């Protein structure tokens, strides 16, 4: 059953990518949105919507990182740090930890703002670095942030993290244990993120990002303030991650430092690489495919193996899958499985 | 003062390991401009190879006399050689095709290779740290009232010997000159009749073999190894290479020792949980304020 949701969503996104007619594209997306909105009316399986909400959180993360990596061409290997900042913002301000119980909806905006501020703090001194050095600096940042959360035990609960986070409520009605309200929140945030991502891409700022991605020197000489524009990419990308962090923390009702390790950053990069960096439908498909593999296919494979009497834990092969995707795609199809036409040209032109 | 000296000696020993790893980073970066992200995992692989060789030789405890020299030599050379081969294979499979691609492309495959190696090692020796036999006797030598293990001297001595040998090789042999020429200007070097592919392979062979030596040394010194060690150690060694001035062999050595000592002091003063934060903060600060490092020349944008 769960496969049906993923396959339909992936198929619709791929179809939308293939269509040239803008209006048909929109209709297709709206139909998918309507179908996803109605789904809980027919299917009341909480576990399904748990997986779908997780998938949605990763779609959000992929859309956010796509602004940084896909649009502006800045490899960010520490994106999970902003996710952690969003999650901890919720955990510290809506839990018994400090006896603060700010509303979920307010914290969504606050966390997005926090994450954006940290994006600027990290980006301001480092964005003039060359691409590969920037990647390593972001990696270092991504290592430092969860480590600091782990070390400041007094404020963050240390390695155990913070638990018993508040359930969000909507007009006085608590979300409770059900996962369906989170599913709706995630859908709404994705719609918002898509609106921003598409409009940013087609804005003056978006064109500036792509100009920088293709040739930074030329872009600078065309009068683009490259530092400011890159900083905008960092801040906006980070804010998506902050939003995703709040929903993630609230849904899990728990945060701990080990949820935001380097592997998470690489997982999101893998989603972009798989789907096609810079192409919005591509990164959505990349995120859906990898969540499907991680949260559905591998656990099922374990069950099947166990029933066949085999003691294999396919959960041990996560790293291998991400690694194989990164190597295989970059070697044989650097534009990803579902690229935009423009990006494909660029990459093949550059390689020639 | 006593504690200060003890930490200093610890830091120098740790720095010797970082320096050996940093050499591989700096050589590869110098010649093809790639941060070889998988290098730290080759280092871990070195300790796994050494452990496997010791097991195959039936070594499980302290060795003496001829057996000590022979078995250690076999394990050391074996680990270095196998790591060298792995390094060459990685270059051939994951980097060569992308030599003229945008610079971030091989960095992404390098991360992929790193994940694949980590996963392979996790399956090979399990997810928990693996004990390593205490092969080399470790009598204490007292310096200024501080007891220092003989192994620390051996470790640092080995690291220094390797570095001197590498310097001599690079500056005094034809192959070394070919490496320097390729690093300077690949196209011009090719026009002068240098086989670029072979030279780059040689760079990976030497760099990875040195990582293998570092892996061997760390296994013997810490008497334990873990599939995930290479991630942290690799980042710290890369920090060392950047601190020293990337592309600069002497800089990598200097950077390695400096980072080792800093980490040792950070662990002592702030506690072990802050040592990574300190080192990565240094990495960020160096890259921001002095990307050319202590001994490096100014780096120019190369698209």
CA of residue B182 relative to chain centroid, distance? 22
Residue B122 CA to residue A319 CA, distance in Å, equals 10
Instruction: Assess A168–B contact: CB distance below 8 Å, yes or no.
Output: no
Percent of chain B scoring above 70 in pLDDT: 97
Number of structural domains chain A divides into: 1
Which residue, among A275, A196, A271, A202, has the nearest Cα to A239 in the 3D structure? Answer: A196
Find the helix or strand (DSSP H, E) in which A47 lies. Answer: helix A46-65
Whether the per-residue pLDDT at B17 is higher than 90: the answer is yes
Is residue A79 within 8 Å of residue A267, measured between CB atoms? no
Class for domain B2-289, per CATH?
mainly alpha
Chain B residue at shortest CA distance from A269:
B108
Contact between B116 and A320 using a beta-carbon 8 Å cutoff: yes
Instruction: Assess B67–A contact: CB distance below 8 Å, yes or no.
Output: no
Whether the per-residue pLDDT at A267 is higher than 90: the answer is yes
Residue A176 Cα distances to A323, B20, B141, angstroms? 38, 55, 65
Residue A164 CA to residue A144 CA, distance in Å, equals 25
**Segment 70-109 of chain B within 8 Å of chain A by CB:** 93-94, 97-98, 100-109
Q: Which residues of B touch A351 (CB under 8 A)?
A: 100-101
User: Do strands B130-131 and B224-225 pair parallel, antiparallel, or not at all (unpaired)?
Assistant: antiparallel
Per-residue model confidence (pLDDT) at position B210: 95
Residue A194 CA to residue B210 CA, distance in Å, equals 49
Residue A183 CA to residue A189 CA, distance in Å, equals 10
Let me know how many helices (H) and strands (E) chain B has, helices first: 11, 4
Give pLDDT tens digits for A312-347. Answer: 777 778 889 999 999 999 999 988 888 877 667 766
Whether the per-residue pLDDT at B298 is higher than 70: the answer is no
| Predicted ipTM beyond 0.85 | yes
pTM above 0.80, yes or no: yes
Instruction: Assess A160–B contact: CB distance below 8 Å, yes or no.
Output: no
Residue ranges making up the domain that contains A200: 2-351
Give pLDDT tens digits for B1-15. Answer: 788 888 999 899 999
Region A47-54 average pLDDT:
92
Give pLDDT tens digits for B24-63. Answer: 999 999 888 899 999 999 999 999 999 999 999 988 888 8
Region of B193 on the Ramachandran plot (φ > 0 left; ψ -120 to 50 alpha; else beta): left
Per-residue model confidence (pLDDT) at position A349: 63
Structure tokens at A70: 């896909």
Is residue B149 within 8 Å of residue B73, measured between CB atoms? no
Residue B209 Cα distances to B78, B104, B176, angstroms? 10, 25, 16
Read off the CATH number of the domain in which A152 is found.
1.10.3470
- Give the number of other CB atoms < 10 A from CB of residue A11: 12
B269, β-bridge pairs? none
Q: Which residues of A touch B287 (CB under 8 A)?
A: 126, 129, 133, 136-137
């Amino acid at each position: 059953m769960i496969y049906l949701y993923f396959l339909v969503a992936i198929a619709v996104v791929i179809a939308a990518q293939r269509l040239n007619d803008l209006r048909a594209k929109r209709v297709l997306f709206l139909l998918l949105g309507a179908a996803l909105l109605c789904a809980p009316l027919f299917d009341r399986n909480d576990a399904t919507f748990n997986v779908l909400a997780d998938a949605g959180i990763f779609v959000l993360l992929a859309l956010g990182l796509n602004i940084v990596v896909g649009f502006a061409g800045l490899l960010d290997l520490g994106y999970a740090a902003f996710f952690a900042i969003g999650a901890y913002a919720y955990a510290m301000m809506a839990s018994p930890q400090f006896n603060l119980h700010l509303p979920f909806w307010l914290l969504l905006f606050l966390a997005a703002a926090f994450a954006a501020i940290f994006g600027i703090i990290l980006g301001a001194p480092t964005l003039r670095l060359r691409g590969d050095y920037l990647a390593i600096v972001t990696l270092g940042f991504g290592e430092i942030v969860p480590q600091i959360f782990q070390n400041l035990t007094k404020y963050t609960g240390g390695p155990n993290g913070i638990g018993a986070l508040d359930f969000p409520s909507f007009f006085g009605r608590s979300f409770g244990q059900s996962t369906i309200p989170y599913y709706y929140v995630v859908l709404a945030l994705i719609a918002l993120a898509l609106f921003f991502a598409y409009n940013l891409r087609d804005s003056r700022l978006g064109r500036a990002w792509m100009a920088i991605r293709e040739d930074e020197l030329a872009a600078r000489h065309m009068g683009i303030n490259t530092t400011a524009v890159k900083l905008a990419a960092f801040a906006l990308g980070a804010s998506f991650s902050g939003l995703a962090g709040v929903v993630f923390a609230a849904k899990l009702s728990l945060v701990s430092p080990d949820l935001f390790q380097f592997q998470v950053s690489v997982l999101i990069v893998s989603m972009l690489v798989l789907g096609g960096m810079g192409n919005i439908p591509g990164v959505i498909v990349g995120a859906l495919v990898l969540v499907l593999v991680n949260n559905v296919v591998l656990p099922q494979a374990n069950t099947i193996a166990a029933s066949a009497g085999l003691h294999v834990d396919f959960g041990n092969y996560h790293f291998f899958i991400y690694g194989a995707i990164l190597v295989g795609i970059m070697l044989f199809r650097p534009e990803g499985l579902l690229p935009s036409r423009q990006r494909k040209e660029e990459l093949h032109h550059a390689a020639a | 003062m006593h504690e200060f000296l003890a930490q200093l000696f610890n830091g120098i020993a740790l720095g010797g390991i970082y320096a050996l790893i940093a050499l591989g980073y700096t050589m590869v970066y110098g010649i093809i401009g790639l941060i070889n992200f998988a290098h730290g995992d080759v280092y871990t692989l070195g300790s796994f190879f050494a452990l496997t060789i010791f097991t195959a030789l039936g070594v499980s405890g302290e060795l003496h006399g001829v057996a000590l020299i022979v078995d250690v030599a076999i394990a050391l050379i074996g680990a270095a050689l196998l790591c060298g081969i792995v390094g060459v294979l990685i270059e051939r499979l994951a980097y060569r095709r992308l030599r003229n691609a945008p610079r971030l492309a091989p960095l992404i495959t390098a991360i992929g290779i790193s994940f694949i190696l980590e996963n392979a090692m996790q399956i090979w020796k399990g997810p928990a740290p693996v004990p390593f036999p205490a092969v080399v006797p470790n009598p204490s030598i007292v310096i200024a009232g501080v007891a220092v293990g003989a192994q620390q001297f051996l470790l640092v001595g080995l690291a220094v010997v390797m570095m001197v040998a590498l310097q001599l090789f690079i500056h005094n042999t034809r192959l070394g000159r070919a490496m320097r020429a390729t690093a300077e200007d690949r196209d011009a070097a090719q026009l002068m009749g240098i086989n670029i592919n072979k030279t780059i392979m040689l760079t990976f062979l030497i760099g990875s073999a040195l990582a293998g030596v570092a892996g061997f040394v760390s296994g013997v010194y810490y008497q334990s190894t873990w599939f995930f060690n290479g991630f942290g150690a690799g980042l710290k060694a890369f920090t060392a290479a950047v601190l020293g001035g990337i592309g600069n062999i002497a800089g990598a050595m200097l950077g390695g020792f400096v980072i080792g000592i800093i980490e040792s002091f950070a662990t002592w003063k702030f506690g072990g949980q802050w040592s990574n934060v300190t080192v990565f903060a240094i990495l960020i600060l160096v890259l921001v304020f002095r990307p050319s490092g202590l001994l490096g020349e100014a780096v120019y944008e190369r698209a």
